[in-house]
């Protein structure tokens, strides 16, 4: 059995075999004409996973017969970029014709992207970057201004079906089997429009059969996918299942499960900033005032991930994840804003008490705005027991401190101020 994955065996080698992006590489399309002219600019290929960004870069290189270097932003950094540039600059008369392809360029930090600028600007290399994220946000302006941006479209169901048909006819291993595509719904769902994923799932399903006669059904596809948990789909159902398990493990104070699901996402190629954003939300929603440092930690993690890039960001994320999972938990702040919003929807725009209204004009002062307001810092303990809520809501408790050491201290402090007003 060939150990090369089906998606790799079926990778198109020419523009004629390349499907789904006719708007870019068709006979009359702009990029197609540019490639055929042999004089390509540095470019960013932007599109969802599995629509042929890497394949297109490879086809461009082979059709132009130019040296081709490839790096993945997941496991490469400034050192690797400089090594490639050095090879190109010392490559003799053909050095300046080299193409450098960087997969997932949005994962490069600013400093990593900066390391490309000089070589691109001088023409030492022609850069082709691939990204699933909007390059306007993820590629530094100086580099973006030196590149053309080409947008690849998601594959249609017809495109994906065509890929399956072609694989069954052209791949030697599949052609040796009697395969019937009875149902394709599950294949389409789990692929999420990703051709590479579609073909790899299809190959797993076919190879799971005990004979050369294979009937592909939705039930069989579900069974095979569920038996292969390492398969992680950034666009489909499993993405949300693993993200949910990740969040619930942290909420449940299990750092071991949390770091396991983090590893599932890292190995599956999840965007580090997606993970970091979820940690910021969780730090307030599930930890809150039980440990205010959690939000600081999560926010700093996002900033660090943004600057460092892969692969080192996995270490930063692991530190934050294990810290948050090991932290005391409280959803009191989350509950408070929910109750307050519900109250606003039910009671509408209740009038703000006059004494705490702003009074920038004499007319407002004459109407009583700000009258008898008690400046808290002028009183003992910097506190005055005046009314702040609208009259109709006086005494309503929205924030109920959680039962943990920090919030129990807050509860004691609030009770010392407000006595029995809020039931603390």
Residue 88 maps to which CATH number?
Answer: 3.40.50.300
CATH of the domain at 409: 1.10.3710
**How many structural domains is the chain composed of?**
4
* Of 139-148, 161-170, 238-247, 332-341, minimum mean pLDDT range: 238-247
**Residue 261 near residue 282 (C-beta atoms within 8 A):** no
Q: Which of 221-230, 354-363, 384-393 has the highest mean pLDDT?
A: 384-393
pTM listed for this prediction: 0.56
Residue 294 maps to which CATH number?
1.20.272.10
Q: Are 195 and 268 members of one domain?
A: no
Q: Check whether 296 has a pLDDT greater than 90.
A: yes
| pLDDT for the residue numbered 231 | 52
Distance CA 260, CA 248 (A): 12
The answer on 175 and 142 residing in a single domain is: no
Give per-residue pLDDT as tens, 197-212. Answer: 888 888 888 888 777 7
Asked if residue 163 and residue 72 are part of one domain, the reply reads no
Measured at the CA of 132, the angle between CA 129 and CA 133, to 5 degrees, comes to: 95
Of 306-310, 312-316, 347-351, which range is least confident?
Answer: 306-310
**87 lies in some domain:** yes
Q: In angstroms, rounded to a whole number, what is the distance separating the alpha carbons of residues 424 and 410?
A: 10
The domain spanning residue 190 has which CATH number?
1.10.8.60
Last residue of a domain, one of 126, 151, 176: 151
Please give the pLDDT value at position 232: 47
pLDDT of residue 330: 92
310 shares its domain with 412? no
Residues 79, 188, single domain; the answer is no
pLDDT tens figures, 256-282: 889 988 998 887 777 788 899 999 999
> 122 and 188: one domain?
no
Owning domain of residue 217: 157-226
pLDDT bracket for residue 91 (50, 70, 90): low
Residue 40 maps to a domain: yes
pLDDT at 45 (0 to 100): 93
pLDDT for position 285: 92
Cα–Cα nearest to 221, from 244, 241, 237: 237
Residue 315 lies in a domain: yes
Same domain, 311 and 378: no
Per the domain annotation, does 331 fall within a domain? no
Percent of the chain with pLDDT over 90: 18
Please check whether residues 280 and 255 belong to one and the same domain: yes
Helix (H) or strand (E) holding 344: helix 332-347
Higher pLDDT, 331 or 64: 331
What average pLDDT does this structure show over 90-111? 75
211 versus 8: the higher-pLDDT residue is 8
> Rounded to an integer, what is the distance from CA 100 to the centroid of its chain?
25
Q: Is the pLDDT of residue 238 over 60?
A: no
The answer to whether the beta carbons of residues 147 and 127 sit under 8 Å apart is yes
Specify if 7 maps to a domain: no
* pLDDT > 70: percent of the chain: 95
Is the domain of 97 the same as that of 171?
A: no
Residue 4 located in a structural domain = no
Domain assignment present for 424: no
| Mean pLDDT of the chain, nearest integer | 84
Residue 8 maps to a domain:
no
CA-closest candidate to residue 273, choices 299, 292, 255, 297 = 299
Residues 48 and 128 in one domain: yes
Residue pair 197/226 in contact (Cβ under 8 Å)? The answer is no
Alpha-carbon distance of 46 to 52, in angstroms, equals: 10
> Please, which pLDDT band fits residue 302 given cuts at 50, 70 and 90?
very high
Q: Per-residue confidence at 228, pLDDT binned at 50, 70, 90?
A: low
Domain boundary among 271, 293, 325: 325
pLDDT interval class at 93 (50, 70, 90): very low
Residues 189 and 300 in one domain: no
Q: Which of 325, 352, 384 is the last residue of a domain?
A: 325
Strand order across the beta sheet in which 126-131 lies: 68-72, 99-103, 126-131, 43-46, 148-151
Q: What is the pLDDT of residue 36?
A: 84
| Residue 198 shares a structural domain with residue 122 | no
Q: Could you tell me which residues are beta bridge partners of residue 389?
A: none
């Amino acid at each position: 059995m060939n150990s090369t994955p089906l998606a790799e065996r079926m990778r198109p080698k020419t523009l004629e075999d390349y499907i789904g992006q006719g708007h870019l590489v068709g006979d009359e399309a702009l990029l197609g004409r540019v490639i055929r002219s042999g004089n390509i600019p540095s470019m960013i290929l932007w599109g969802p996973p599995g629509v042929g960004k890497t394949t297109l870069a490879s086809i461009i290189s082979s059709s132009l017969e130019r040296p081709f270097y490839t790096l993945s932003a997941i496991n490469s950094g400034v050192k690797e970029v400089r090594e490639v540039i050095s090879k190109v600059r010392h490559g003799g008369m053909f050095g300046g014709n080299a193409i450098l392809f960087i997969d997932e360029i949005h994962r490069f930090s600013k400093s990593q992207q900066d390391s490309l600028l000089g070589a691109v600007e001088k023409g030492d290399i022609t850069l082709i970057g691939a990204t699933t994220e909007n390059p306007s946000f993820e590629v530094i302006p100086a580099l973006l201004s030196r590149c053309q941006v080409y947008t690849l479209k998601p594959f249609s169901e017809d495109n994906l079906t065509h890929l399956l048909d072609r694989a069954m006819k052209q791949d030697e291993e599949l052609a040796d089997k009697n395969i019937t595509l009875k149902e394709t719904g599950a294949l389409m769902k789990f692929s999420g429009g990703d051709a590479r994923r579609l073909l790899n799932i299809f190959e797993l399903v076919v190879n799971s059969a005990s004979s050369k006669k294979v009937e592909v059904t939705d039930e069989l596809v579900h069974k095979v996918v569920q038996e292969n948990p390492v398969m992680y789909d950034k666009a489909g159902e499993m993405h949300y299942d693993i993200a949910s398990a990740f969040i619930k493990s942290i909420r449940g104070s299990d750092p071991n499960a949390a770091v396991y699901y983090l590893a599932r996402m890292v190995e599956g190629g999840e965007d580090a900033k997606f993970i970091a954003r979820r940690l910021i939300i969780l730090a307030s929603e599930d930890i809150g005032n039980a440990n205010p440092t959690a939000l600081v930690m999560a926010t700093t993690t996002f900033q660090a991930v943004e600057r460092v890039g892969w692969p080192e960001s996995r270490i930063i994320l692991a530190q934050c994840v294990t810290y948050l999972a090991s932290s005391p938990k409280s959803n009191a702040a989350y509950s408070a804003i929910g109750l307050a919003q519900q109250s606003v929807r039910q009671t509408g725009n209740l009038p703000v008490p006059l004494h705490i209204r702003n009074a920038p004009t004499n007319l407002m002062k004459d109407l009583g705005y700000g009258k008898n307001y008690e400046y808290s810092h002028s009183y003992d303990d910097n506190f005055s027991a005046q009314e702040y809520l609208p009259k109709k809501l006086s005494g309503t408790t929205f924030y109920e401190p959680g039962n943990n050491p920090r919030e129990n201290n807050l509860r004691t402090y609030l009770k010392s101020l407000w006595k029995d007003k809020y039931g603390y």
